[in-house]
């Protein structure tokens, strides 16, 4: 009888260790939670929104324009921003209009903000890529240019420079908390 109980305990311990190992592997290599910290992605994301980061999607594909990504801004801090420029592109903003390689690009996720502005207000100060940290004429290979949706209150590539791909943790588009904000932010909403 004692042998049977010991075997049963051993089986439970093995199952628990296996579950913990699987959870660790999934968390480490595939998905991770993140909490939005601050207003830099409003109105798309709100302070304290909780999201899931897909850590493996960029192993199979390159980032696309307007993906929302999490990246290591420093050893202690991760930022969440939107990919605006891709390798080989020139980025500029003039009079609240985004230009990629000299062509105007619509940013539908900013429409709500732009509609609320007075004619003399700007949400994004004018800039040229070459005037920003790094002084690049085009975004180098293996890098992306990111901006927060709340352009007037965001630390992004305008201050940090272009972001190396190896600093990107992953892509995120699923808000799972708070309950009233549960949503998948997809290309159709952008």
| Full-model pTM | 0.81
Q: Is 40 known to be catalytic?
A: yes
pLDDT at 188: 43
pLDDT per position as a tens digit, 3-47 = 667 777 777 777 777 777 666 665 565 678 888 899 999 888 999
As separate numbers, helices (DSSP H) first and strands (DSSP E) second, the chain gives 3, 12
Catalytic member of 4, 7, 74, 81:
81
Longest dimension (CA), the chain: 84
d(C-alpha 153, C-alpha 92), whole Å:
18
Residue 91 in tokens:
């980025």
Q: Are 72 and 167 in contact (CB under 8 A)?
A: yes
Q: Is 171 known to be catalytic?
A: no
pLDDT per position as a tens digit, 78-90 = 999 999 999 999 9
Domain extents in the chain: 31-184
Q: Does domain 31-184 have CATH number 3.40.630.30?
A: no
Catalytic member of 4, 14, 40, 114:
40
């Amino acid at each position: 009888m004692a042998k049977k109980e010991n075997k049963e305990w051993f089986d439970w311990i093995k199952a628990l260790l296996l579950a913990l190992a699987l959870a660790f592997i999934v968390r480490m290599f595939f998905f991770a939670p993140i909490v939005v910290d601050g207003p830099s992605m409003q109105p798309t994301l709100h302070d304290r929104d909780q999201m899931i980061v897909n850590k493996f999607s960029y192993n199979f594909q390159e980032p696309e324009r307007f993906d929302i990504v999490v990246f290591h801004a420093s050893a202690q801090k991760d930022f969440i921003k939107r990919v605006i420029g891709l390798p080989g592109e020139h980025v500029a903003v003039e009079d609240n209009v985004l230009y990629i390689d000299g062509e105007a690009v619509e940013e539908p996720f900013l429409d709500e903000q732009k509609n609320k502005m007075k004619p003399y207000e700007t949400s994004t100060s004018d800039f040229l890529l070459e005037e920003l940290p790094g002084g690049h004429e085009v975004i180098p290979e293996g890098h992306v240019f990111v901006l927060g949706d709340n352009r007037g209150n965001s630390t992004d590539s305008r201050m940090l420079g272009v972001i190396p791909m190896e600093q990107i943790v992953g892509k995120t588009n699923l808000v799972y908390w708070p309950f009233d904000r549960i949503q998948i932010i997809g290309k159709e909403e952008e």
